Amino acid sequence: MAHKKTQDDGKIWGGRFSEGTNAFVERFTASISFDKRLYQHDIDGSIAHAKMLAKGGIITDIEESEILAGLEDIRKEIADDNFEWSVKLEDIHMNIESALTKKIGEIGKKLHTGRSRNDQIATDIRLYARDQLDQISNIITLVQRNLLDLAERESNTIIPGFTHLQVAQPITFGHHMMAWFEMLNRDFERFQDCRKRLNRSPLGSAALAGTTFPIDRQYTADLLGFDSPIPNSLDAVSDRDFIIEIAAAGSLLMTHLSRFSEEIVLWTSAQFNFIELPDEYCTGSSIMPQKKNPDVPELVRGKSGRVLGHLVSLITLMKSQPLDYNKDNQEDKEPLFDLIDTIKDCLYAYSQIIPAIKCNKISMRLSATKGFSTATDLADYIVKKGLAFRDAHEIVGKTVAYAIREGIDLAEIPLDKFSEFSPLIEDDVFKVLTLEGSVNARSHFGGTAPNQVLTSIEIARSNLEMR
Ligand code: ARG
């Protein structure tokens, strides 16, 4: 219900209104409860704007220094949790502007010359997102370094490689860790790519059309570390592509982490028993005393859905929005903040988990010896003795069927039996049937042989150095 405008309504935009805001509407439209986390960036943007106004003679140097000092005081008050937030003042911009005017008087009212909350918020979130992308990129690099150390430590450790979750061929654990490394490498590149497009300045676009004041957009862009001003003022205030790009890159990253998590959950199970996680990264069951559950990777796996959900809400938020700024855009913040917090937490968890992974080499090895994991090696061996691969494939298929009937592994088949399947099989066959023989034989760029894994670790380390 509308109520009469009162003195204490205190709305910065209240001039044209004769009634106060409905209390529900006030709460419903306010964003201060969540956009207060943008305060540093809001103040940085205001400082750049005030410096530009002074440089262009739009405000005086004295006014500039009053405004800058006032803003720095406010920054400190907020940092010290000594600032009174007001829902009536709706958002971060008006809370800070109003505090400034309270603090320095009439001069504070000049700060908003030649700008709008529309270019202000667009600037704030770009600055915030840039900082966060840099933090995310640093944690990705940390996780990658940890993966390289683990891969090096376990470059010789043999595990079964799976396709269709069926034992396929023996691989080295180091090779598997390097696959994770590569996935994160693409994530890192994607975030770097997002950063290029987001690091452009909307400031000076004002509400949508620009401003009648003689502003210098290049100057504020430089002050804020943006690569350039955004060329079109309409586009500058309405574009949220960069948030969607972060959400998309983040969803893919989370998809990768969910895949790591799924493998860790499987590997820590009694059935696989490949790895062990430290107690401090697991939890117990309230009823089953024997349980040690991999809750942290499970939660990371679950949180991938949450980040993907934010991508869907953000892209839906922008769909069909007419130019220019619409209040809908206020809904970009909570998903963005939450997805960034989630990604950082999940990466942090991985930075801790990876160095703590303990390999149960005996179980890994035992599992790799099962499932005829060296059958392809046998086929390749026969091909090297002169048969076409398809024919060799057929022979090995029959040999495997025999081994299944007998309940033995390929390496346990006696030589005279082998020669019944193919006269090309001689007693040097047993070398290729060993796990080490199998992995060492795949010694080419990108292959699973320990020497190749070590080479790829070395290359990866020097690439990380160049970041
Ligand atoms: N709180 C708003 C947001 O987050 C700030 C911009 C408001 N602009 C406006 N014209 N109402 O998008």
Residue type for position 203: L
Instruction: Report residues whose beta carbon is within 6 angstroms of any ligand 1 atom.
Output: 31, 35, 91, 117-118, 121, 325, 327, 329-330
Q: What percent of the chain has pLDDT above 70?
A: 98
Residue type for position 385: K
Residues 339, 198 share a domain? yes
**pTM, to two decimals:** 0.93
Residues 80, 57 share a domain? yes
Is there a catalytic annotation at residue 164?
yes
Task: Give the nearest ligand 1 atom to 325 CA.
Answer: 10
Q: Quick one: average pLDDT of 216-231?
A: 98
Q: What percent of the chain has pLDDT above 90?
A: 90
CA 1 to chain centroid, in Å, comes to 44
Nearest CA to ligand 1 atom 12: 330
Closest CA to 297 of 249, 337, 347: 347
Among 18-22, 195-199, 202-206, 391-395, name the one with the lowest average pLDDT: 18-22
Structural domain harbouring 92: 20-113
Residues 352, 398 share a domain? no
Residues 448, 312 share a domain? no
Measured in residues, the chain has a length of 467
Rounded to whole angstroms, the Cα distance separating 6 from 23 reads 13
In a domain, 343, yes or no: yes
Q: In this predicted structure, what is the pLDDT of residue 7? A: 46
**Three-state SS at 168:** strand
Residues 378, 357 share a domain? no
pLDDT in tens, 89-137: 999 999 999 999 999 999 999 999 999 999 999 999 999 999 999 999 9
Residues 201, 272 share a domain? yes
Residues 6+ apart with CB under 8 A from 450: 155, 156, 172, 174, 439, 440
Among 125-129, 171-175, 369-373, 375-379, name the one with the lowest average pLDDT: 369-373
Pocket test for ligand 1, best of 36, 318, 329, 333 (most atoms within 8 A of CB): 329
* H or E stretch covering 381: helix 375-384
Residues 296, 187 share a domain? yes
pLDDT in tens, 40-86: 999 999 999 999 999 999 999 999 999 999 999 999 999 999 999 99
Residues 215, 148 share a domain? yes
Which one of 33, 86, 269, 285 is the catalytic residue? 285
How many structural domains comprise the chain? 3
Q: In this predicted structure, what is the pLDDT of residue 21? A: 80
Q: In this predicted structure, what is the pLDDT of residue 287? A: 67
| CA 119 / ligand 1 centre spacing (Å) | 9
Pocket test for ligand 1, best of 116, 318, 327, 336 (most atoms within 8 A of CB): 327
Residues 6+ apart with CB under 8 A from 181: 144, 147, 148, 151, 460
Q: Quick one: average pLDDT of 357-371?
A: 94
Residues 202, 94 share a domain? no
Name the CA dihedral angle for 452, 457, 462, 467, rounded to a multiple of 10 degrees.
130
- 225 and 58 Cβ atoms separated by less than 8 Å: no
- 58 and 88 Cβ atoms separated by less than 8 Å: no
Nearest CA to ligand 1 atom 2: 330
CA distances 188 to 6, 244, 301, 320, 465, Å, are 53, 16, 19, 31, 14
Residues 327, 213 share a domain? yes
Strand partners, 317: none
| CA 294 / ligand 1 centre spacing (Å) | 42
